Structure 1
Amino acid sequence: MKGWLLAGLLLVALPAPAEIFTYVDAQGNRVFTDQPGSGNAKRVPLAPGNRMSANPGSAKPAPPRPQAEAPPLYRYDLLRVLVPEPDATLRSSAGELIVSVTSEPGLQRGHRYRLLLDGKPTAEPGLSPVFALTNVDRGSHNLSVEILDQQGRTVERTANQPFHMLRISLAQKRQVKPCALSDFGQRPECPLKDKPEEEKNPFLKFF
């Protein structure tokens, strides 16, 4: 046991490339040495060791690069939907409406308007404060507008403004104003396929 302890100390003390030899002396003790010529010494195979830095704490990770701070958000005094008015009822067979917005002060450089219908963008952000919508479903909806800066951040956004769309069917239009013969092919609610056949003059068959 004592011999193995000495061997461990010797392994720690010797440099990595050194070789270790062992033999049994005349008293029967196991001896470890770095001298190959002592008695019938045999080389002790060594496992490869892990090399570590003499001062592992000296290698410090590189500090993170400072990120450029985004400019603070610009604040508008006013942003609102002008048209349609809140809770307005609109009538359109095609579900069409024009939306107009305004802001105070005016739109700043690099900023864009974006219109939302029921919380979803209706188109890409742009400079125009007027939006044309088509094929809006019948029923109640909510409009809101927001202003985006150059980084795509929302600078301002209005609250949801409700409106109601009434889409008049073609049949309802024809009830209000029946189709005359001259209206077929001219009015959307009076297609040519629905045009009645003109009555033939009964006297023409004799000619």
Structure 2
Amino acid sequence: MIRGWLALGLALVALPGMAQVYTYVDAQGNRVFTDQPRPGNARKVELSPGNRMPTPPKGTPAMPAKEASPEPLFHYEMLRLLIPEPDATIRSTEGALIVSVTSEPGLKKGHRYRLLLDGQPTGAAGTSPVFALDNVDRGTHHLAVEILDEQDRILERTANQPFHMQRMSLAQKRRIKPCVMADYGQRPECPLAEKPEEESSILPFF
């Protein structure tokens, strides 16, 4: 019996493309398997479907698993600072400065502007193209603007643009515009302590 099943296994290995296998018992009592039908006591052997995968040709590289490609970044045709102009001189006692930017095309939905002063963000990114700065130190500084997408990726960035801040002292302001009577107590550089006494219009009696 064992010999018979062994013969069946060998037949299946040797004849993988056969459509049908037959078996019968010969005159010596041996179980025989063949691909040829035999009249008499031969019967068909029901074969279960194979589960073997075809072997790829030698030298064929294995296909790596596809990774989801990141969404390409959107690029703007133009991004620049409008105000102040390059190398502009700003005169402000408080060190105040208004910065405006523009882009082409306009800011896309979900994108934001971020202003940099000397390489550091001046605040949270937003959709407004106008920024108000105050208390900027005296001296030369550099401005740049970035456009960020929804994932905080930098889509565009301008080059550093210099400007010069001149913070005028009260004494300088008073030299430029001398105090008049109405200015005392109104302008910080014209304190009341320095207000001259008003001349009386009544003549003294003798």
On whether the aligned pair clears a TM of 0.5, the verdict is yes
What TM-score results when the alignment is normalised by the length of structure 2? 0.61
Map of 1:93 onto structure 2: 93
Map of 2:48 onto structure 1: none
Matches within 5 A, 1:118-137: 118-137=118-137
CA–CA distance in 2 between the matches of 1:95 and 1:107?
A: 29
Per the TM alignment, residue 71 of structure 1 is displaced from its structure 2 partner at its CA by 2.2
Distance change in 2, residues 1:175/1:70 (3 Å): same
Per the TM alignment, residue 107 of structure 1 is displaced from its structure 2 partner at its CA by 0.4
CA–CA distance in 2 between the matches of 1:68 and 1:169?
A: 60
The SS at the match of 1:171 is helix
What TM-score results when the alignment is normalised by the length of structure 1? 0.61
Task: Assess if the C-alpha contact under 8 Å between 2:75 and 2:156 holds in 1.
Answer: yes
Map of 1:198 onto structure 2: 197
Structure 2: runs of 5 or more not aligned: 1-65
Task: Tell me the alpha carbon deviations over residues 46-89 of structure 1, each in whole angstroms, 9 at most, x when there is no partner.
Answer: xxxxxxxxxxxxxxxxxxxx987642211111111011111111
Task: Assess if the C-alpha contact under 8 Å between 1:91 and 1:167 holds in 2.
Answer: yes
Task: Assess if the C-alpha contact under 8 Å between 1:78 and 1:103 holds in 2.
Answer: yes
CA–CA distance in 2 between the matches of 1:112 and 1:199?
A: 58
Map of 2:36 onto structure 1: none
Identity of aligned residues (%): 67
The SS at the match of 2:173 is helix
Matches within 5 A, 1:8-47: none
Distance change in 2, residues 1:87/1:199 (3 Å): closer
Task: Assess if the C-alpha contact under 8 Å between 1:115 and 1:143 holds in 2.
Answer: yes
Map of 1:178 onto structure 2: 178
The SS at the match of 1:186 is coil
CA–CA distance in 2 between the matches of 1:158 and 1:199?
A: 57
Amino acid at match of 1:195: E
Distance change in 2, residues 1:198/1:147 (3 Å): same
CA–CA distance in 2 between the matches of 1:169 and 1:81?
A: 28
The SS at the match of 2:156 is strand
Task: Tell me the alpha carbon deviations over residues 68-115 of structure 1, each in whole angstroms, 9 at most, x when there is no partner.
Answer: 764221111111101111111111111111111010111011000000
Per the TM alignment, residue 191 of structure 1 is displaced from its structure 2 partner at its CA by 3.1
CA–CA distance in 1 between the matches of 2:186 and 2:165?
A: 25
The SS at the match of 1:151 is coil
Q: CA RMSD in A?
A: 2.5
